[in-house]
Structures are given as C-alpha cells and as structure tokens.
Structure 1
Amino acid sequence: MSGTEGTSGATTGTGAREEGCVFCGIVGGDVPAELVASTDRVVAFRDLSPQAPLHVLVVPRAHHADVVALGAADPATLADLVATAARVAADGGCTAGEHRLVFNTGTSAGQTVHHAHGHVLAAPGASLDGHL
C-alpha cells in the first residue's frame, strides 16, 4: 500500500489497486456495482445513495487519491473521465451538456472515498434545484 487510505494523498497511478479501496474493488470486479459506461481508462457506475435523479460516479481505473493527484499524474485520464461523464449525462437523457460534474477533494470537502472520482448529477428534463 502506498499510504494510509484517505489521508496520505498517495497515488499508485500504475493501475495497481489500493488495498481497502472500495472503488479499486469495483474496478477490479470484486465489489458489485451497476456499471453504465467504461473505457480503457475509466469506469462509470450508479451511486448507491443518489442525490439527484441521475447520479453516476466516474472513476479512473488506476488509483489516485483525488482529482488533483489524477490531473498531475495523468491528465489524459482526467480528460477521459470528463468526456465519459458528458457521455453518461447524454445517455441519461440530458441535452446540451446540462449536468453537474462535482469533485470533492479531501475529507474536509466531503470526499469519503479517497480514490479520484467525479459525480455526474442531473435531472433530465427538469432542474436540479431541490435535488441538491
């Protein structure tokens, strides 16, 4: 393990899984999830506690503690994550890029799983007001 999960900011960045990381477990197929999209670099799956009618998480296959670490180590994967998020929103019924893509970075900002991930939040055909 490259650091204490959730506090070190350490990344493996090599595709290696971080022991005890639930998102690494999902990427590896050891933890069940409802997958909605995947590429060679990222995986998208439905949030277990949705905060909007459409709430999907998009995570890199390689473990990085947060989006800042991901962007520094692998900007191409961050770009793929953003593109996949837009595709998930469009596939979910959103038009013209009408969705939120939220990254919580660090515990004090609400990040509870310290594997970089973006939340795709949308209310296809309606406003997100009242959902968040």
Structure 2
Amino acid sequence: MQDCVFCKIVKKEIPAEIVYEDEHVMAFKDIHPAAPVHILLIPKKHISTFFDLTDEDVSIIGRVQLAAARVAKQLNLEEKGFRLVSNCKEDAGQLIFHIHYHLLGGRALQWPPG
C-alpha cells in the first residue's frame, strides 16, 4: 500500500528507531509511548486487518509472536513480563490499517485496559 505509514517504515522511506528486524518482521519504538517500553511489531507484508489474513499468512503472524518474545528478552522484560496488544478496526482503536502489535512493559499494567 503506497499510503501506509508502516509500509513506508519497512521501505525505510520514513525513519523509525528499529529494535528488531528480520526477513518477515520489523519492530520499532512507538513515537507516542503508553508505557516505559512501547514497541510496535509489524509484519513486513501489508495486511490491513485480521479479517484480511489468509492461510498463507499464518506463519507470518507466528513470526511476529516469536519476534515479540525476542524483543522482550532484549529489553529485559523476561522476569516481570509484558503485554502484547493488537487492535482490529475503528472501535477497537486501530488507527493504522496495517496489522501491528503493541508490546508494552516496564511498569505494572492495569486491567481492564479501557
């Protein structure tokens, strides 16, 4: 998608503070953090929402989950833990229509979130 900000970050057309990258996944710091640690994890393939996933995307989503664990370890969250959140569509708070996960940590997180 040409207008997708996350696709532009993947193509390095927009700068981001990247903390992890492999062939399928990119993770970078959120520019408006909601916790001391706030990382966005995205598949490099553009997939707008969970409703747009196909059978071929199963491994990509699994790779995002593995990347989340790797990033959490890298950021010393293994002992205390972290939250991994993804919003789907407007009512859930999805602002950028490219599947992404928020990895939040570095403090005690409340539940329910809102």
TM-score, reference length from structure 2: 0.89
Classify 1:109/1:19 alpha carbon distance in 2 versus 1 (closer, same or farther; 3 Å): same
The number of residues matched between the two structures is 112
Instruction: Tell me: CA distance 1:68–1:112, structure 2 relative to 1, closer, same or farther (3 Å).
Output: same
2:96 — aligned with what?
Answer: 113
Q: Does 1:127 align with 2:102?
A: no
Pairwise CA distance, 1:68: 4.2
In structure 2, runs of 5+ residues without a counterpart are: none
**Equivalent residue letter for 1:104:** N
Query: Alpha carbon RMSD of aligned pairs, Å?
Result: 1.9
Gaps of 5+ in 1: 1-17
Contact 1:33 1:46 in 2 (8 A): yes
Following TM superposition, the consecutive aligned residue runs of length 4 or more in structure 1 with deviations greater than 2 angstroms are 67-73
Identical-pair percentage:
36
Partner deviation per Cα, 1:27-73 (whole Å, 9 max, x = no partner)? 00000000000111010000000001110000011100023433644
Paired residue secondary structure (2:53): helix
Question: What TM-score does the superposition give when structure 1 sets the normalisation length?
Answer: 0.78
